A and B are shown apart, each in its own frame.
Chain A
């Protein structure tokens, strides 16, 4: 009965590798997000997708490419991983409310990425 799930929970990899993080939500939401939380716990939005369409792209390096195969999934692919990419990545989802605003965002448990 998990609402927003992410895999893997932990990811340890070498610099230069390419990796993907998967996210799925079973809440019937039409909007999904990726956030990055750094070592100081600062939480910052990276991307948002509404009905598989990219809405927000917050000056993230183009090594990061989100992909939404359907409304329930938003995956994050990262090319040529760098040390500074080490962080916890959170997926979230919400409804897009009337007037273009959004309802409560529900967060997944996070994926801790460590780049060596």
Chain B
């Protein structure tokens, strides 16, 4: 199956900084999803994107569906300690098969 290339693999930032991560694919998809996984928990959906060019916000989080339909980015503004976790992009390959990127591990220094 197709792979999602997510970068960076990890980020170490200071509290208050903005964060940006992205995901690319060699194939065109109709949906981009961004999940967050906190330690000891399962992934939780943050933002879902359904149209090329779509820009969607959820509080301090903003995600965009690339025009080429092969990429997406997630931005976090003014990071706070509770933003720590692993962020995954994901796409549907087929109706029910959710495929995840490798994840971006975010660490925040207070």
Contact = CB atoms under 8 A, between A and B. Distances in A.
A43 B40 contact: no
Interface residues on chain B, size class: 20 to 34
B32 interface: no
A41 B94 CA distance: 23
Nearest to B100: A43
Given A41-B86, A43-B88, A104-B48, A31 B42 contact: no
B43 A107 contact: yes
A92 interface: yes
A66 interface: no
B95 A100 contact: yes
Given A41-B103, A42-B102, A43-B88, A48 B96 contact: yes
Contacts of A55: 96
Nearest to B45: A104
10 contacts: A33-B98, A41-B37, A42-B102, A48-B97, A55-B96, A56-B94, A102-B95, A104-B48, A107-B44, A109-B42
Interface of A: 4, 31, 33, 40-45, 48, 50, 55-56, 58, 90, 92, 94, 96, 99-102, 104-110
